[in-house]
Every structure is written in C-alpha cells, then in structure tokens.
Structure 1
C-alpha cells in the first residue's frame, strides 16, 4: 500500500510538472488563428527569347502573390491578380485583344508560369510569335 501511494504521488507530481506549464500557457494566450484563411496563390512568371522554355534565353522573372492581397515583384500585381481571377486561374483562356495590331515578324517569346493558384499546382508554358503578340494577351499578366 505504501508503494502505491508513493507511485500515485510521483505520477501526480510528474503530470503537474509536465502539463502544468502547458495548461497555463494555453489559458493565458488565446488560440492562434490559422496563418491564412485563403488558399495560397503564389506564382513565378518568366519570359525569354526562344521557341521553348528549355531552349529560351531568359530575360526576366517576376513573382506574383494573390492571396490574401496582391503583391510580388510583378509591376502591376493587383491588375494581374484581377485578370487571373477573371479567368478563374485558367491562363489558357486568356485571349488576344482586338485593339492591338502586331506585325508578322517571327521572333519567338516564351512565357512560363509556375506555382500555386488557389491551392492547386500550376505549370504553364506558351510561345508567342513575338513580343507584341505576347503583350496582346490579356491586359497585365504578361506585361513585365
């Protein structure tokens, strides 16, 4: 009986020592909110001269974060994010504007987009005939 009382006291003291600070900390500080209530939307966009991304000479790369607010090194992150939201993240559905007239000079420009859009992995590559044609697609996403 004496050993049982000693083990009970030891167990209670150990539990209080180990769990006591945790309980006090949990009661003292409110529960932490999740890091973000939005699905992540972070992209890296690149542009280069060449027919494919593998063969292209890289010219520039920018970052674009759209959740919770538009940010990144893209020159117009708010407009680019709005453009992506307008097509529900489907970059292939961006169409050339009718008000732009481009020459037929073939000087291929390749654009890549890699990252996450609203929690889903995105990998996109498209080759345009020249810089003018690239800039005619959408309004701001590829304008960097």
Structure 2
C-alpha cells in the first residue's frame, strides 16, 4: 500500500466515523427564542427515555393568539383556567398502563406577568397526558 492509498483509507475511515456519530446523536430541542416575547408564553420540552438515549422535542406555546403546537388553543385554555400553574391543572380520570417508559417535561416562560418554571418526570406518556392535559401534547 502506498502512502497516498493509506491517506485515502484513513480519510475515508474518519469520514465514515463522523457520519456514523452524526447519525446516532440524540435529537435536540429547538433553542429558546432570543428576542423578548410579550403576553403569556411557555417554552416546552418533552424528553422520552432516559438521559443516555433521550429523544427531546421542544416548542414555544404562545397564547395571544394561541399558537405553537397542534393543541395550542386547548393548552392555552387549560393554562388560563389554572392561572398558568401546570401543577394545578386538574388530572384526567383515566387508567394508564403500568409500563415504564419515562417522559420528562419542562416548561419555562411568563404567565400573567410572572415567571413560570415547571419540571416533572412521569412513568409514561399516558401518565403525563393525564396530569398535564394538552400542554405538552405538541407532537399530536
């Protein structure tokens, strides 16, 4: 093998390694907006799985007018009824399977002129939906 053939093989191997690593990197949530927002809004993320193999999705829920995900109007109405307090949302009366598939949620933003921060890990998506309603249902 000549030096140029060896160099080509090394470059090819490095390129393959980079492409493999790029393809296995976990999905990242979109960054929070840099510009200041007004009105009631929450930056929401949902992470499925554990920290090692997580799948994170994120969106900005704005409520004047409702926009940001598929159920924005419902989420804004639920939040308005709870004065922006996600922990105060009434739980739905549903039966969820006892399957452990952890889902972590995080919300950060402004509601009624005050800062809002909420973080919780649920045993599965059903338990998350039962407890948080439409707020984190932006993948629907």
The TM-score range, normalised by the shorter chain, is 0.5 to 0.7
Q: Structure 1's 125 and 56: CA in aligned 2 closer, same or farther, altered over 3 A?
A: farther
Look up the SS of the partner of 2:66 in the other structure.
Answer: coil
The answer for the alignment partner of 1:77 in structure 2 is: 72
Gaps of 5+ in 1: 1-38
Gaps of 5+ in 2: 1-37
**Deviation, structure 1 residue 55:** 6.7
**Deviation, structure 1 residue 120:** 1.2
**Deviation, structure 1 residue 103:** 1.1
Q: Distance in 2 between matches of 1:60 and 1:40?
A: 23
**Deviation, structure 1 residue 76:** 1.5
Root-mean-square deviation (Å): 2.0
**Deviation, structure 1 residue 139:** 3.2
Look up the SS of the partner of 2:67 in the other structure.
Answer: coil
Aligned pairs, number:
101
Q: TM-score, normalised by structure 2?
A: 0.64
Structure label with greater radius of gyration: 1
